């Protein structure tokens, strides 16, 4: 008497293996896309659209030459630890208006007020950090923004270099404290200049050098008892 053979059992799909293959595929594709994006940002010509534009800077300790973009010398002293400042909605097609000089009758170090400043070359002054600023550029729709972190180099008070070490330390602390009390003025000056700029005006090296000089002139105008001798862009990103 003949008997029917049992039907073959179909193997069940291995769900765990499918999930592992899927996750591995996603990781590989994401890694490949990221690598391609990095290569594009690094090596594609800057006249092509990019999600981010790179700005290079010299290593710490290198004294920059005038007009050299993005140099960051070793700090002589001083500085303020300020948070990131985010400015939105700053859209204007007009140039920044000249700013009046501030009333500086108070809060100025005794060794600095009325005594002038020492003539020093960039890289030998007193460094003061400013906060990182994220500002909308003066572009239609406000879709372009700039992120800037700048260090301002000030000429030291007259006679500073000839002071004994202890007096020099005290004078430096007093000078730095006085400058830090003016940080709102410094930040306002920089933000006002940035918010009036268009993308094309600051994208080139010449545009950055022009912005650097405008910051120097504007701060020296508003705070004439001090003298900014150079501006270092520690971070300069446009998108």
pLDDT by residue (tens digit) across 102-151?
444 444 444 444 468 888 889 889 999 999 998 888 877 767 888 999 99
Please report the pLDDT score of residue 92 as a whole number: 36
Please report the pLDDT score of residue 46 as a whole number: 61
Report the alpha-carbon distance of residue 72 to residue 235 in Å, rounded.
10
Whether residues 234 and 156 fall in one domain:
yes
Name the stretches of the chain with pLDDT < 50: 55-114
Contact assessment for residue 128 and residue 180, using Cβ atoms and an 8 Å cutoff: yes
Please report the pLDDT score of residue 229 as a whole number: 93
* 127: β partners: 153
* 238: β partners: 146
Whether residues 22 and 113 fall in one domain:
no
How many CB atoms sit inside 10 A of residue 141's CB? Answer: 7
Whether residues 127 and 233 fall in one domain:
yes
Whether residues 90 and 42 fall in one domain:
no
Please report the pLDDT score of residue 118 as a whole number: 86
Whether residues 132 and 19 fall in one domain:
no
Whether residues 130 and 26 fall in one domain:
no
Whether residues 97 and 213 fall in one domain:
yes
Instruction: List phi, psi (to 5°) of 87.
Output: -115, 120
Asked if residue 73 is part of any domain, the answer here is: no
Determine the structural domain holding residue 31 and report its residue range.
13-47
Asked if residue 77 is part of any domain, the answer here is: no
Whether residues 39 and 127 fall in one domain:
no
pTM over 0.85: no
Whether residues 117 and 197 fall in one domain:
yes
Closest residue by Cα to residue 202 from 152, 154, 141, 135: 135
Assign residue 210 the CATH number of its domain: 3.30.479.30
Whether residues 186 and 96 fall in one domain:
yes
Distances in whole angstroms, Cα of residue 195 to Cα of each of 51, 75, 161: 20, 28, 38
Residue 97 DSSP label: P
Whether residues 125 and 18 fall in one domain:
no
Asked if residue 211 is part of any domain, the answer here is: yes
The total number of structural domains in the chain stands at: 2
Please report the pLDDT score of residue 57 as a whole number: 42
Asked if residue 69 is part of any domain, the answer here is: no
Closest residue by Cα to residue 210 from 195, 225, 193, 187: 193
Whether residues 126 and 40 fall in one domain:
no
Q: 17 is written with which tokens?
A: 């293996």
């Amino acid at each position: 008497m003949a008997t029917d053979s049992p039907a073959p059992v179909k193997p069940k799909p291995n769900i765990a293996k499918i999930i592992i293959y899927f996750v591995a595929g996603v990781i590989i594709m994401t890694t490949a896309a990221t690598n391609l994006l990095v290569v594009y940002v690094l090596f594609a010509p800057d006249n092509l659209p990019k999600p981010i534009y790179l700005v290079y800077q010299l290593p710490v300790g290198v004294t920059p030459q005038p007009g050299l973009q993005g140099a960051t010398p070793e700090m002589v002293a001083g500085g303020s630890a300020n948070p990131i400042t985010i400015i939105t909605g700053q859209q204007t097609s007009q140039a920044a208006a000249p700013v009046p000089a501030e009333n500086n009758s108070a809060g100025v170090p005794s060794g600095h007020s009325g005594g002038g400043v020492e003539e020093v070359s960039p890289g030998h002054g007193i460094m003061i950090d400013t906060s990182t600023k994220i500002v909308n550029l003066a572009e239609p729709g406000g879709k372009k923004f700039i992120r800037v972190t700048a260090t301002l180099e000030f000429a030291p008070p007259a006679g500073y270099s000839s002071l004994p070490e202890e007096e020099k330390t005290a004078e430096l602390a007093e000078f730095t404290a006085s400058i830090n009390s003016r940080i709102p003025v410094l930040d306002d000056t920089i933000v006002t200049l940035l918010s009036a700029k268009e993308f094309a005006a600051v994208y080139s090296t010449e545009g950055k050098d022009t912005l650097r000089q405008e910051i120097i002139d504007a701060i020296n105008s508003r705070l004439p008892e001090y003298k900014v001798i150079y501006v270092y862009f520690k971070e300069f990103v446009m998108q």
